[in-house]
Chain A
């Protein structure tokens, strides 16, 4: 086993442990903290796959902003520690959905022809991404800013409307 492989297994173990912590923690705040651990683990996997930019985005957007949104959502609602069991009559449906998802994932993993050695992986640098973004994909990039502005204004209008001001 090469040291890259060993590193991958350590990172994968941390990621899975974080994901398990999300669903098993009794305190919702602890769940959110475990979620950060799992998301940072995924970022480390991206680095191992030589996708630097994706790792940066993962840390900034998922590790930062999305967890902040989740924590804010907890602060805004009257959230309590989970006392009783969370599952109810939907248990068989949940089991069915989980089994189907697991089956699909296992099928996808076994049916895919993997590319083999990591040394063959092509490294896409941030400079190359910038070049593509500002020449070929300039229009979608500008539209993305419009989308963000619409999201911002929409959120303000919704919040203001609820407040009745």
Chain B
């Protein structure tokens, strides 16, 4: 039983190793092949146009924090949907209505956010 679980994840392991090798080889290849010439103009953000002034990190209005909160909450909803989705046929009618109530309550929260204009991008 345990080895069955691991066998599925061998594909994940191979993909992970491939990902590391791909990024690593690209970086090393760049390090070896690219010509290097230092000049202050190479540090400028834009090749032509206006010179950027000030710091690159601007302060964002905290209103946008609500988007992060919304994402977190519906992410957790997705976590609860997983065990329901894999076995809702076997679980029967009761589980279906339980999920309906769960999604309904969260949908009310989303409706409230919508009504309050949180979803407007300003």
Interface residues of A (CB under 8 A from B): 4, 7, 47, 50, 52-53, 56-57, 60-61, 64-66, 68-69, 72-73, 75-80, 118-119, 121, 123, 126-127, 129-131, 133-135, 138, 141-142, 144-146, 148-149, 151-153, 155-156, 159-160, 162-163
Q: Which residue of A lies closest to B118 (CB)?
A: A156
B33 part of interface (Cβ distance < 8 Å): no
Q: Which residue of A lies closest to B108 (CB)?
A: A149
Q: Quick check: A152 and B80 within 8 Å, CB to CB? A: no
Given contacts A76-B62, A146-B105, is CB(A152)–CB(B113) below 8 Å?
Answer: yes
Q: Quick check: A159 and B68 within 8 Å, CB to CB? A: no
List 14 A-B pairs, Cβ < 8 Å: A50-B5, A56-B82, A60-B79, A65-B76, A69-B72, A72-B60, A75-B64, A76-B64, A126-B83, A138-B98, A142-B105, A146-B105, A148-B109, A152-B70
Chain B residues contacting A163 (CB-CB under 8 Å) are 63
How far is A131 from B47 in the complex, measured between Cα atoms in Å? 60
Looking at the complex, which one of B6, B84, B86, B101 makes contact with A145 (CB distance below 8 Å)?
B101
How far is A32 from B102 in the complex, measured between Cα atoms in Å? 32
How far is A134 from B71 in the complex, measured between Cα atoms in Å? 24
Q: Quick check: B68 and A72 within 8 Å, CB to CB? A: yes
